[in-house]
Each structure stands twice: as C-alpha cells, then as structure tokens.
Chains A and B, each alone.
Chain A
Amino acid sequence: MKVQVNADMCEGHAKCEKAAPEVFKVGDDDVSVVLVDDVAPELMEKVERAIRMCPRQAISWAKS
C-alpha cells in the first residue's frame, strides 16, 4: 500500500518519523516526505500509528 503526506497540512512535528523512521523523514523545510513507494506489510502497523499520532492528521493511505 501507498502512504501519502499532505504537504499543505504537515508542519514538521516529526511524530511520523518517530513512529515509522523507515517510512517518513522530515526534511529541512519542516515537511515530512515518504521514503518508500510501497509500505511493506511488516511496517503497516507502524504507519497506522503514525497516521493516528500526527497532530495535523496529514498522513493517509493513498487510494490507488
């Protein structure tokens, strides 16, 4: 599955990076970028946690 960060909403709180460092990295512009094309099954739970914890609710699964 694909995960996406809404760059308009993201404000660099880095909760996502903490929850799933394999998947998210906050750049120098204080916006989180997704590091992987496809989230491996064993990382799904961590990504779910990131989605839940993001204070701006900026992360979602991509509807492909």
Chain B
Amino acid sequence: MSAPTLKLSDINLNDPELFEREGAHEVLRMLRREAPVHWNPGGEVANGFWSITKYEDIRFVSRNPELFISSKGIAGPGIRPEAMQNLGVGAEQQNAGANISIIGMDPPRHVKMRRLVNKGFTPRAVNAMEPEIRRITNEILDKIDGRDELDFVLEVASQLPLAVICGMMGLEQKDWALMFDLTNKVLGSGDPEYQTDVPEEERGTSAAARATAMRGVGTMMEYFRNVLEDRRKNPREDDLPTILLEAEIDGEKLSEGDLLAFCFLLILAGNETTRNGISGGLRVLCEHPDQKARLLKDMSLMDSAVEEILRWVSPLHHMARTATADAEIRGQQIKAGDRVLMWYPSANRDEDIFEDPYTFDITRTPNEHLAFGIGEHFCLGAGFARRELKVMFEELFRRFPNIELAGKPERLRSNFINGTKHLPVRLNTGR
C-alpha cells in the first residue's frame, strides 16, 4: 500500500493512532524540513500547541525552565479552557495532575525537592545496585528458560524495571502486579486495552481515556496513602517513602499531597519508559541482524549499543512546556501562555546533528541523544534505566543468543509513551 502524499496542513501530532501505526517519523521528518516550529491546531477539547522538532530548539526550551515551565502540564496539549467546564472537575484535575511532583514543578522549588532523593540515583548508587539488577534479571530469565514462544513485554521487559523501582520503594512483591496494572491505566489510558473499567462499547473515546486515568490515579492514591501510613509507624532504612517522610524543605516537612505525588511519579516514570526501552531495543536488534550479530560477537559494544537503542527508540515521544512570556524560536513567535511540545524522536533523528540518522549503528559516536531530556528536569532515573538495559541485554543474549521475533509487535495508542504492549518472541534454544 503506498501512502498518500503527506501535506503540512493535514499534520496532527495529537493523533495517538499516528504513533500507534508508527507513522510519526515521516511526519516529524517533514516538519524538521519544512516547518521546524509548527503550530498544531487544537480540537474541540484539546489546546493547539507548537511542535518543536529540531535538536537545538529542544535543548533551548529544556534549558530555560523559567521561560518554558512544566507546572501547566507536561504531557499532551492540555484541555481548552472553554472545554474544561463541560468536562467538570475531572478535566481540571487532568491539567493539574502533574503539578505537585517534581516533573511538573518549576524553579526554584523544583531543585530543592529533587535533591531530597537524587543521591539515591547517582552513578555510585547505580553501581551499588548492579549485582541486584543482575540477580533480578536472571530470576526473570529463569522463569522463561525452557519455553519456546512468549510475550517478551509481559514476561521479560516489564518485569525488570518494575522489580527495581518497587524494590527501591520497599513495596511487597505481591503488590507489583497491581503497580504494573496501574501504570498501564495511567500512562496508557488512551489505549482501549487498558480501559477495562469502562463499558466495552465506550472504549476508545477520549472520555474513556480520562475515566481510565482517573481511576488509575485514584487507586494509586489509596495504595500509597497506606504505604505512607505504614512507614510513619514503621520507618525503614533506605526506602524512598521513608526518606521522603523524613525530609524537610526550608524547615518544613512535605505535605501529604507532595508525598503522594512523588511516590506516583517514581512508580510511573520508573516503569513504563524502561520497559519500552528494553522491548524496543530487542525489536530493533532483531530487525537488524547484522547489528545483533556484531553485538553478540563483541559484548564490549554494549554501552554504545544501549545509547543507540535509546536514540532509536526514544521511549518518550514528547514532554510539554508552557511559555511564560513571548519568545522566539527559529524565527517563529511564541506567545506567553502557548503550549510547546518537544518531540524527542525528532531531535534524535535530526540530520543536522546525527550522521545517517536513519541508520541503526550500535557503534555510533558521538551519540548525544535527548531521550532523557536535558537540564533542570533531566531524567532522574537515567543511570538506572541505562544499567537495566545493559544488564538485561547482557544476560538475555548470554542465555538466549538465538532469540528472534515471532510475530508483529502490538503498539500502544499514545503520542506520549512510545509503547509496545506485546512482543511475541521465540527463544530457539534448540532444546
């Protein structure tokens, strides 16, 4: 089937199905060439927004966190003020949803809050955790040993990040499956597969998405209220909820809202992105057998292979900001109050930065991709994410070097998370 020619006026990056069917790269490539700072009109409910598609412009926006703030929403275009009334409280909550955790917080409070936990995420902390990451990885791989075909996302890719972050939060293993479920509901709320609380005939609508996200957030709230209650009575050494409970900013303890938001963020951010880095990584390696063979022959290439996977996959499609004053980007006038969306997959294929950006090359150097953002909000968990990918692929290929794709990946319907819901693989152990 040959695609109809793409027209600038038809472009809508607020269409999650475009990303589900993997059509976004073509659109982003056109924008970089013809309209690198592009106004994407809104809809009945959604705001219009600026699409930022060039690497240097995304750096510029990220590095000016006072001009481009996060507290008005970090995902998607947001809801139009006029539409807010009709949608009721739920809509406001959605717009404000991220406001109180660090990812939706602005300077100067942001860095104070981030510093409460950031020592737990430094290279030193990651190194200390590596043996545990390797142990968990092998436990996961033990479970699939002897099998032929399986869903790599459900049985492997999702399990490692889940175990690592739940471990850091001190959550009991019996609750990990619930965290997996809730992460899917909150971050994958637009995908009918996760809209299980909505009657079947209503699934796939934006109302169903809002209801699903709210239901997920509500359940998570209740869950973490109990966790915090427990840690107040039984503080633990080194678990993140206890650290947060004991922390102070300018002599003040965190509010219950701050604490809950921080816990949510850690679970959500730590889970889904890394999962998609692992499943996307396996997929791209299998689709480039020469690169996979090269890696298997020389595992010392793993570090740069992981960077290339992150560049190639870009597990997050975008982060959003809102301008606080009039600004100019690449000659385009941005008005105070305008929403801007930074498209990471586009930055990471920018022809001005990367040589042969559409070539997957596990030895690519330099490779200063922006998959983790940069500056004030640079991914807190980048060190853990990188190490989880590295250890997973080291152990996976050591034990199952002949692993291959066994069917089509099922993609998440989202323009925020570059998600793979299911990835059938065959282990080919020859047993």
Contact = CB atoms under 8 A, between A and B. Distances in A.
Interface residues of B, number: 17
Interface in B118-162: 118-119, 121-124
A49 B374 CA distance: 15
B122 A30 contact: yes
Interface string A11-44: 1111000000000000000100000000000000
A11 B63 CA distance: 16
Interface in B346-386: 368, 372, 374-376, 378, 382-383
Nearest to B373: A55
Nearest to B372: A55
**Chain B interface, DSSP helix/strand/loop, else mixed:** helix
B374 A55 contact: yes
B431 interface: no
A15 to B, nearest CB: 9
Contacts of A14: 123
B115 interface: yes
A62 B375 CA distance: 18
B304 to A, nearest CB: 14
Contact of A9 (B111, B119, B123, B382): B111
B62 to A, nearest CB: 8
Contact of A57 (B119, B374, B382): B374
A10 B66 CA distance: 19
Given A12-B124, A55-B382, A56-B378, A30 B119 contact: yes
A55 B378 contact: yes
B123 A13 contact: yes
Given A53-B368, A55-B382, A57-B63, A12 B123 contact: yes
Interface in B54-86: 63
A30 B378 CA distance: 16
Contacts of B368: 53
A51 to B, nearest CB: 11
A57 B119 CA distance: 18
Contacts of A55: 372, 374-375, 378, 382
Interface string B267-281: 000000000000000
A8 B374 contact: no
Interface string B100-123: 000000000001000100110111
A13 B383 CA distance: 9
A30 B124 contact: yes
A8 B375 CA distance: 12
A53 B372 CA distance: 13
Nearest to B377: A56
Nearest to A9: B111
A56 B118 CA distance: 12
15 contacts: A9-B376, A11-B121, A12-B122, A12-B123, A12-B124, A13-B383, A14-B123, A30-B119, A30-B123, A55-B372, A55-B375, A56-B376, A56-B378, A57-B374, A57-B376
Interface of A: 8-9, 11-14, 30, 53, 55-57
The 9 closest A-B pairs by CB, nearest first: A57-B375, A30-B122, A12-B122, A55-B378, A8-B111, A57-B63, A56-B378, A11-B118, A12-B123
Given A12-B123, A57-B375, A57-B378, 11 more contacts: A11-B121, A12-B124, A13-B383, A14-B123, A30-B119, A30-B122, A30-B123, A30-B124, A53-B368, A55-B372, A55-B374
